[in-house]
Amino acid sequence: MAAIESTAELVSEEPAPEEEPKFAPGETIHDVATVNGMYQNWFLDYASYVILERAVPAIEDGLKPVQRRILHAMKEMDDGRFNKVANVIGQTMQYHPHGDASIGDAMVNLGQKDLLIETQGNWGDIRTGDGAAAPRYIEARLSKFALDVVFNPDITEWQMSYDGRKREPTTLPVKFPLLLAQGVEGIAVGLSTKIMPHNFRELCKASIDVLRGRDIQLFPDFPTGGLCDVTNYNGGLRGSKIRLRATIEKVDKTLLAIRDIPYGTTTTALMESIVKASEANKIKIKKVVDNTAAEVEIQVHLPAGVSPDLTMDALYAFTDCEISISPNTCVIIEEKPRFVGVEDMLKLSTQKTVRLLERELEIRQDELQEKWHSASLEKIFIENRIYRKIEECETWEDILQTIDAGLRKFVRVEGEKPKANDQRIVLRRAITEDDLTRLTEIRIKRISKFDGFKAEEYIQRLETELAEVADHLANLTRYAINYFEGLLKKYGAGRERKTQLRTFDVVTAQKVAIANQKLYVNRQDGFVGYGLKKDEKAEFVVDCSDLDDIISIRRDGTFMVSKIAEKTFVGKDILHVGVYNKNDDRLVYNMIYQDGASGISFAKRFLVTGITRDKTYDLTKGTKGTKTLYLTANPNSESEVVNIQLSDKAAARVKQFDFDFAELAIKGKGSMGNIVTKQPIKKIVQKSLGDSTLGGRETFFDSVVGRLNHAGHGRYLGAFDTDDTLLRVFKDGSYDLQSPDLALHFDMANMVLLRKLEPDTVLTAVYQEGESKTYFVKRFKIETSTLDKRFVFISETKGSKLIAVTANPEPEVEIKLQRDKKADKETEKLLLHEFIDVKGWKAQGNKLGYFKVHAIQLLTDEGPEPERKAAKKKAGPATIPRATAPVTAESLPDQTGPVDISDADVAQAQAVLKTPKSQLKLF
């Protein structure tokens, strides 16, 4: 078969030579059928049959054979009433070579798509996964859309059914991109197809754009709604991918509501995935309740103290709340499977629709011409009493010749040379014997009641319609555009897009995994893991998840990052253990170590980035006997001041001094550090915790995904220190304060203002009081400090609504007003900062005039953008707790030895030691 031409090349053309069958002595010899060659011939025939006749739809009508046969059977049964599905299945079995189960499943699938079939009874629910009732209980009939768009026996190509008893359509003349509207999924032999459903209205509009020569772009629309990221859709070609998410609403601090589900899953499967993730300790939930009825609603109840925003991300990361689908648009074109994009598929469908419309117009034109021809001959035959001239004719031939001769006096055929002053009617074709016979069949009663005026009106109507059809044929593109516009107007109501197109942020499992394990460390023996709880020497470090990486720093200045496990050996004499995040550029380690060769002590501040898991790194020069005297991990790059006490045997006069880490630059893990002292150190004690030396963290808001980020995506909000907060204002006239947490989800539909809260921030709001419908203006500063709590700043009477709000210091509005009932409407501009002073956030505000206000428009933006500056060396006080306590030299043995100094540190070493360069030994 044509579909497997390329596959056949893989099979040898000549079969292997047959071997003589061997039989044991005395064994009875029967006929033997060899299987040689069967795979080569029969398998390819089977593969072609499955691809062409079962699994993959045809481009002409977008239907699989079983779907086409169901629709054809329903058309034959159609009388406007519902039919039992069992009867439709029986009717379809006359054409379909397979059993009733496959027909029933295909029919239910068609009915659930709510386009071609009107259903009655329980047809199941694709959202919940409930199946349809038995075929004897449910009913169906063709929809008006199907009757208008799918069928036309005059332009349908027919073939014999599998048993030769019936005719069935080869393809149906579908005048609509049905395949893209319904979507399809099928698996054949070595081939599959998965075409996403698209929006009805968008397909009609896209077809119109194709006819007008415009570029088009199509994206899926699913009946289950939800959110869809089509960044990698690529027209549905092989290798493309879409991500689908459920819509999750944060009801309150302890309740999340799932409002719709991703296409391809069900509420039951979704709940099971949530429960499974909870049992695996990937998310923390109290219970899951399915309240799905007319609309999907799955309630996820959270325990107290669990972040709803983090749980929302965890649901996307660990459950079926987010799934991926890989489309594969494969269709049958010219008896072969082809891979084409959805845009190209729509263009092919639109071109096919134009050809079908043209064929229908041509058929209609022929019908009208025949009616006009017959009506014209009949009018001439009766009005000129030609029927009387056949009374004396004796033979049938004489009758026909007499009628033909009588007609010739009044008509001539188009193309026939006219005579002088020829007033005869011009016929569009020649008069045939059938025309003459039809005239002889006119009854006397009809002749006697013939009305020439009505006959002329009828002919005029036919000529008007013929002219209209001719105009449509001459302007076929315009006619096709009108056709699609008619479909859009007639059937587009209620078919608006259900799936929201969004760009998703990437939810990293490590970031949203709950702390389902407890990390322990046995410092003496060198083990870390979550299985050391019963180890007497082990101590608890921190709560973590089973997806985290762990960093372990030893007293000799080496460290290693490893995957958390039940028990892992990382080396003895562990000083620091913590959770490692490779993207954390704020966690700074402050360290003082004594070089083993020279005995000189160095201080350094460093970040740990760019590591390979399970590889040992050295934070010092690696000389034998090196030991760490002091080590802290600072989550927000805090500096600190330490008091250093020298050994009693030290030669220095001053045996105690302070050292400020803020004077050191933050470098990489391989840096050597700055010299603190050449004298032996007895003790190091933290004196005070300093500020963050990296300053506030620059934060941006990406409105596309509705999330904060530090990567520079979206609008710049400012540099946030530890105590800084975000101000959010909502459409309902309320505001709240939030910490700038990257896990927060921002509802763009309800939020009207988002900015960093500064001490001088003043909000200006215009609102309408619900009872009196009066407009008020108020200006106020944020006086509250409670986080994550809504404060309503407009009137709380029913019907009150926020009109405009801004943080601009000089806000201006344009008011359309009417001073009295007889006056005309006029427009006036008003500077609100001159209209009212700053008051408390609970104040009512000033009434906006005593005239009637029709509309208010804000002319200024929400306020000046914060200036983006480089990170400061000094920022506000940090309040983030330390990951570890400082490690001092008291428990470490004294070691001495030579020191390694890089050329880059020579100048700094000279300044500290006041030693000539010639006396420093370089390695």
Q: Which of 137, 483, 491, 589 is catalytic?
A: 137
Look up residue 546 and give its two tokens.
Answer: 């089973």
Beta strands 227-232 and 500-501: pairing type? parallel
Q: Which ranges of 492-576 does DSSP label H, i.e. alpha helix?
A: 509-512
Q: How many CA atoms lie within 13 A of 787 on its CB side?
A: 9
Tokens matching residue 260: 């719709």
The H or E element that residue 68 is part of is: helix 65-77
User: Are the beta carbons of 776 and 845 closer than 8 angstroms?
Assistant: yes
One-letter identity of residue 254 = T
- Angle at the Cα of 913 from the Cα atoms of 908 and 916, rounded to 5 degrees: 85
DSSP calls for 330-391: EEEETTEEEE--HHHHHHHHHHHHHHHHHHHHHHHHHHHHHHHHHHHHHHHHHHTTGGGGGT
Contact present, 575 and 887 (Cβ < 8 Å): yes
CB half-sphere exposure, 403, CA atoms < 13 A: 25
Residue tagged 């309040």 (tokens): 879
Nearest to 94 by CA among 64, 79, 72, 109: 72
Structure token digits, residue 457: 């009106």
Distance CA(316)–CA(513), nearest Å, equals: 11
Phi and psi at residue 480, to the nearest 5°: -65, -40
Please tell me the distance from the alpha carbon of residue 748 to that of residue 751, in angstroms, as a whole number: 5
- Does the annotation mark 137 as catalytic? yes
Closest to 244 measured CA to CA, from 266, 272, 268, 222: 222
Please choose, from the candidates 896, 879, 878, 884, the residue with its C-alpha nearest in 3D space to the C-alpha of residue 591.
884
Read out DSSP for 736-803? EEE---TT----TTTEEEEEE--TT-EEEEEEE-TTT--EEEEEEE-----TT--EE-S--STT-EEE
- DSSP letter assigned to residue 54: I
Q: To 10 degrees, what angle do helices 433-440 and 396-408 make?
A: 100
DSSP code of residue 431: -
| Distant-in-sequence, close-in-space partners of 24: CB < 8 Å, separation ≥ 6 | none
Contact of 504 with 227, CB cutoff 8 Å: yes
Half-sphere exposure of 805 (CA within 13 A, CB side): 25
The angle formed by the CA atoms of residues 349, 354 and 359, to the nearest 5 degrees, is 125
**634 C-beta neighbours (distance < 10 Å), count:** 24
Per-residue buried b or exposed e for 256-278, using 16+ beta carbons within 10 Å of the residue's own CB: bbbebbbbebbbeebbebbeebb
Is residue 886 exposed (0-12), middle (13-18) or buried (19+ Cβ within 10 Å)? middle
Environment class of 760 (CB within 10 Å of its CB; exposed 0-12, middle 13-18, buried 19+): exposed
How does DSSP assign 567-600, residue by residue? Answer: SEE--SSEEEEEEE-TT-SS-EEEEEEE-TTT--
In terms of C-beta density within 10 A (0-12 exposed, 13-18 middle, 19 or more buried), how is residue 12 classed? Answer: exposed
The pairing of beta strand 666-667 with beta strand 601-606: parallel
Distance from C-alpha of 252 to C-alpha of 264, rounded to nearest angstrom: 29
The total of other beta-carbon atoms located within 10 Å of residue 347's CB is: 18
Active-site residues, by number, are 137
